[in-house]
């Protein structure tokens, strides 16, 4: 059965955005979820359908929000061994390998993390997209590292709220071409869909959502036997699509192995042959979600998890360190 939320706006809430008002009154609903429902025409203000999450409200407004009954998707189970870091009755934390998509999409409906989750555990949240049960956030197909999965709707809403409020701890490690200037700092831009390729994102001038990445150079590899690379830690304040990849590209320091945001570099002479081989054979981007921290949706305990770099990425660093000697 669908659920109807009925609210009357009091004077102290005058001038607020409607999505903000609803999440203040119904803390179990994430702002992302409320926005999605509004865009699906599930909101009425004074019996008139409203499709604007940013619409201002006034004293006495009668708010009706329809919460549809969750839909069950018919997803094909995928017999794939998940690397589970942590599990309880409310959530899972997995260490995702590069090369597998988070959820079904164009050209791949069966061999994804979601299909593997359905095979592993039928109890997953189902309040979002029916093809994405349990998925609170995601990382790119060719990125590895930590992801949290919700087993029930209450946990999903609590975790989604933490992502929306930017209280989640997310730290990545990446290897980029060249040296960042300055070597440590913050990149703060708008990020929007590319005007040339809709599958890509780009830094926006006047349009887009704010993206904030704090970065710290951990090591610089610079000598006569290798291209210049920097091993960098990135801490996200926001989580926009391809955020780190776009920000590194914007700085002119593309991520090694990133085929979508790649940049042409001159051929280097006298490069160490073993290093050249591991670089040329890298079939993914050198980007790893190393640290994930959040407040448990039920116990409210702060949890933090860490994941080591995959062996193929660690091997590249080892080769670079050897050439630096």
Cβ contact 233:286 at 8 Å: no
**Facing residues of 192 across strands?**
202
Which of these is catalytic: 19, 61, 90, 140?
Answer: 140
Q: Catalytic annotation on 272? A: no
Q: What phi and psi, each to the nearest 5 degrees, are found at residue 276?
A: -60, -40
The count of residues in the chain is 325
The Cα 240–Cα 9 span in angstroms is 32
**Strand, helix or coil at 299?**
coil
34-to-11, 37, 131, 286, 307 alpha-carbon distances in Å = 22, 5, 19, 35, 33
Kind of pairing, strands 287-295 and 144-150?
parallel
**Strand, helix or coil at 305?**
strand
Under DSSP, the state recorded for 92 is E
The Cα 123–Cα 70 span in angstroms is 13
- Residues identified as active-site: 140
């Amino acid at each position: 059965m669908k659920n109807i939320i009925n609210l009357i706006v009091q004077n102290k809430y005058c001038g607020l955005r409607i999505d903000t008002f609803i999440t203040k009154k119904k803390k179990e609903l994430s702002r992302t979820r409320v926005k999605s429902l509004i865009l699906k025409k599930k909101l009425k203000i004074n019996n008139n359908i409203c499709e604007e999450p940013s619409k201002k409200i006034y004293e006495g407004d009668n708010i009706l929000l329809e919460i549809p009954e969750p839909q069950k998707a018919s997803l094909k189970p995928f017999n794939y061994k998940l690397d589970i870091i942590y599990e309880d009755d409310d959530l899972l934390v997995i260490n995702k390998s590069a090369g597998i998509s988070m959820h079904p999409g164009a050209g791949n409906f069966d061999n994804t993390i979601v299909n593997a989750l359905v095979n592993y555990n039928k109890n997953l949240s189902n309040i979002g997209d029916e093809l994405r049960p349990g998925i609170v956030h995601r990382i790119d197909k060719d990125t590895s590292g930590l992801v949290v999965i919700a087993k029930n709707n209450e946990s999903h809403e609590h975790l989604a709220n933490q992502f929306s409020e930017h209280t989640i701890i997310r730290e990545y490690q990446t290897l980029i071409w060249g040296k960042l200037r300055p070597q440590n700092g913050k990149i703060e831009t708008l990020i929007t869909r590319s005007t040339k390729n809709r599958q890509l994102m780009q830094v926006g001038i006047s349009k887009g959502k704010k993206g904030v990445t704090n970065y710290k150079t951990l090591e610089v590899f610079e000598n006569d036997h290798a291209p210049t690379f920097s091993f960098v830690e990135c801490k996200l304040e926001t989580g926009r699509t391809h955020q780190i990849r776009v920000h590194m590209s914007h700085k002119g320091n593309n991520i090694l192995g990133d085929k979508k945001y790649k940049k042409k570099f001159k051929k280097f002479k006298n490069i160490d042959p073993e290093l050249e081989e591991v670089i040329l054979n890298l079939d993914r981007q050198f980007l790893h979600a190393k640290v994930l921290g959040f407040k448990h949706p039920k116990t409210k305990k702060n949890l933090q998890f860490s994941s080591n770099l995959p062996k193929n990425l660690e091997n590249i660093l080892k080769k670079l360190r050897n050439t630096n000697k």
